[in-house]
Chains A and B, each alone.
Chain A
Amino acid sequence: MAEQVPLVDYLVPGDNPHLVANECTACGARFFDRRNACACCGKTEFTKTDIATNGEVRAFTIVTFAAPGVPVPYVAALIDCDGTSVRANLVNVDPDPEHVTLGMKVRLATHSIGTDDNGTEAIGFGFEPLGG
């Protein structure tokens, strides 16, 4: 099997794919990027914490006009994963307002982004409707 890398370093692919955040040990604020300090309390110690893979759509948009090279339409969303907000595309759903609704329950799903010149496959993620 070809080697895999995640699209972003806060995605852990594999058999139980999930997202992982940097959690401030002092105040509990969570961040997905590399940190210098906590934007909430200013402290500098963080621990890795797994993010729930199920969530609820709190906001979405269906993008139909984007930069050249970005396939449209796609659904961009803000997902509430058990109290931690996550930005992601909604996948495996028809990109129209009849099928995408506020409050819909979703779960993390991974997919291939493509294979590079070395045969390494990049793995991306999105959220798909639960139980659909």
Chain B
Amino acid sequence: MAEDVWILGIHMTKFGKHPTLDTVDLASEAVLGALADGGVTMKDMGVIGAGCLMATSGGIGQQLQKQLGQTGIPVYNVANACATGATALRVAIMAVKSGEADMGLAFGVEKLSGAGLLSGGSRKDDSGTWNPSGRYGAVAPVDGRIGTEIMPGVFAQIGMEYGHKYGGTSFELFAKISEKNHAHSTLNPLAAYTKRMSLDEIMGDVMIAYPNTRPMCSANCDGAAAAVVVSGSKLKTLSLEQQRRAVKISASSLTTDPWEEACQILPDVNTLTRNAATQAYEQAGVGPADLDLIELHDCFATAELVHYDNLMLCERGGAVDFFKSGATWRDGTTPVNVSGGLESKGHPIAATGVANVWEVTTHLRGEGGDRQIAGAKVGMTHVIGLGSACGIHILEKAA
């Protein structure tokens, strides 16, 4: 029978600007923190899953080993857009689950301060002659000529499409989602931005791609997060304190977007998220009503809304009413993004899919300080990377 897998140690750096630290410094801080938190060392690790999306050819896993310990274990450097961190974690989980290793390390790191638009952020000049190239035979750059490639615009349309299908959305509604996450961030000292913002401030800020203004977009910043996972049988040999603080990974799922009409026109972030959530609920044997907190991928305010529905936190088509009920505020029935979410905590891409696990783990351990969700026993993390990949983890407090 496959092994149970647990979080033994976990750590995230402060998200924000770290001008004096490079990616290896940030990754090292996260990994050393996770190892210390778990009471283990690099020598105990049997596998590493590593992610740094902006440096996929650099071998970030081996670079880390060269600073912290070259023990000869397998390293999987992974890239899966904004799902990179969750993918790295899942690699370590799969290795432990299969019995290849009894402990594994996963980390994600990114340096993104001041990065601006990550897609569609530059456009080539038109050439001197119109020569067709690429899969569409385009004679000139198409971003801005045939729709948009910028992420704030892509995800704006995803939120607008939901509004068209079910009604009830507005600029103000999306801005209110952002208002919630910025309010939550005031309790998270590790968030890149911790300023509460009024609805007027959010709606009056610089418009990037209607209806997403700047504070409704994920914040580019530097950061890293790391986790040590352990098999259930190995955990039983560790100290009672290590066992007490261990958090069970009761589900780990990763999906890609199945073909649907329109999915190659506007990315379909819905179907693969719903599929990943369905798998995760089934693996864990829990339902949406059992979740005490959710960290979902609010890369833009418009995205958070659709994921209420995709993760089945509400009835199909009911995300607007669900949000309006106050359910997703930290004092609501289904707290979402109590960390402040990507809009204020920040989104150092590859770190995000491990950092959200750190957030949930912290609450399940009862170590959330001022922002602790009282009595949290079960939580979910969700990331989505365009292209697309969706990673979901469900975590449970040790019995």
* Chain B positions within 8 Å of A97 at CB level: 171, 210-211
Interface string of B135-173 (1 = CB under 8 A from A): 111111011111110101110111011011000000100
Q: Which residues of the partner chain A approach B150 to less than 8 Å between Cβ atoms?
A: 63, 65-67
Answer whether residue A39 sits at the interface, using C-beta atoms and an 8 A cutoff. yes
Q: Are A66 and B117 in contact (CB under 8 A)?
A: yes
Secondary structure at chain B's binding surface: helix, strand, loop or mixed? loop
A33 / chain B contacts, CB cutoff of 8 Å = 135-136, 264
Q: How far is the CA of A114 from the CA of B125 in the complex (A)?
A: 13
B136 A67 Cβ-Cβ under 8 A: no
B207 & A87 in contact (Cβ 8 Å cutoff): no
B145 touches A58 (CB 8 A): no
The residues of A that contact B130 with a CB separation of less than 8 Å are 5, 116, 120, 122
B residues 122-140 with Cβ under 8 Å of A?
Answer: 122-123, 125-130, 132, 135-140
A5 CA to B132 CA, complexed, in Å: 9
Chain A residue contacts of B117, Cβ below 8 A:
65-67
Asked if B161 contacts A76 (CB within 8 A), the reply is: no
A63 in contact with B209 (CB, 8 Å): yes
Selected contact of B146 from candidates A7, A58, A83, A103, CB within 8 Å: A7
User: In whole Å, how far is A90's beta carbon from the nearest beta carbon of chain B?
Assistant: 10
B69 CB to closest chain A CB, in angstroms?
A: 42
Q: How many residues of B contact A (CB 8 A)?
A: 50
Q: Which residue of A lies closest to B207 (CB)?
A: A64
B122/A64 in contact, CB under 8 A: no
A46 at interface, CB cutoff 8 A:
no
Please tell me if A132 contacts chain B, counting CB pairs below 8 Å. Answer: no
Identity of the chain A residue whose Cβ is nearest the Cβ of B162 in the assembled complex: A59
Contact of B265 among A7, A61, A65, A85 (CB under 8 A): A85
A19-78 contacts to B (CB < 8 Å) = 29-34, 39-40, 57-72, 74, 76-78
A63 engages B259 (CB within 8 Å)? no
CB pair A66 B161 closer than 8 Å: no
Confirm or deny: B266 has a beta carbon within 8 angstroms of a beta carbon on chain A. yes
B171 near A59: Cβ-Cβ < 8 Å: no
B164 and A67: CB pair below 8 A? no
Q: Assess whether A78 is in contact with B123, with CB atoms less than 8 Å apart.
A: no
A88 with B157, Cβ < 8 A, contacts A9-B132, A102-B164 known:
no
Closest chain A residue to B169 by CB distance?
A: A102
On whether the beta carbons of A87 and B143 are closer than 8 Å, the reply is no
For B217, give the chain A residue with the smallest CB separation: A65
The reply to whether B148 and A116 form a contact with Cβ atoms under 8 Å apart is no
- Nearest-neighbour CB distance to chain B for A55, whole angstroms, equals 12
Chain A CB within 10 Å, residue with most, of B126, B142, B206, B210: B210
Q: Which residues of B contact A29 (CB under 8 A)?
A: 259, 261
Interface pair A59/B157, CB less than 8 Å apart: yes
State in angstroms the CA–CA spacing of A122 and B137 once bound together. 12
Task: Decide: A34 and B153 in contact? CB cutoff 8 A.
Answer: no
Q: How far is the CB of B85 from chain A (nearest CB, A)?
A: 27
* Residues in B neighbouring A124, C-beta threshold 8 A: 145-146
A15 within 8 A of B: no
A62 B144 Cβ-Cβ under 8 A: no
> Is residue B262 contacting chain A, with contact meaning CB distance below 8 A?
yes
Q: How far is it, in angstroms, between the C-alpha of A85 and the C-alpha of B161 when the chains are bound? A: 12
Map CB proximity to B onto A1-21 as digits: 1 under 8 Å, 0 otherwise.
000011111100000000000
Q: Are B210 and A88 in contact (CB under 8 A)?
A: no
**B120 proximal to A (CB < 8 A):** yes
Taking a contact as CB atoms closer than 8 A, the residue among B126, B136, B209 that contacts A61 in the complex is B209
- Chain B residues with Cβ below 8 Å from A6 are 137, 139
A78 x B153 contact (CB < 8 A): no
Is B265's CB under 8 angstroms from A87's CB?
yes
Q: Is the CB of B148 within 8 A of A63?
A: yes
- Which chain A residues lie closer than 8 Å to B156 at the CB level? 61
The docked-state distance in angstroms from the alpha carbon of A118 to that of B127 is 12
CB of A14, distance to nearest CB on chain B (Å): 16
| Contacting pair A70 B152 (CB below 8 A) | no
- Residues 112-132 of A, flagged 1 when their CB comes within 8 A of B and 0 if not, give 011011101010110000000
> Can you give 19 contacting A-B residue pairs, CB < 8 Å?
A7-B145, A8-B142, A9-B138, A29-B259, A59-B160, A66-B144, A67-B117, A67-B144, A67-B150, A68-B122, A69-B125, A70-B144, A72-B144, A77-B147, A87-B147, A89-B146, A97-B171, A102-B160, A116-B128
Listed from nearest, the 4 A-B pairs whose CB atoms lie closest are A9-B137, A85-B262, A61-B156, A59-B161
New contact pairs (18) apart from A85-B262, A113-B126, CB-CB < 8 Å: A9-B138, A29-B261, A33-B264, A61-B209, A63-B152, A65-B206, A65-B209, A66-B120, A67-B117, A67-B120, A67-B150, A68-B123, A69-B123, A70-B120, A76-B157, A87-B147, A87-B266, A88-B147
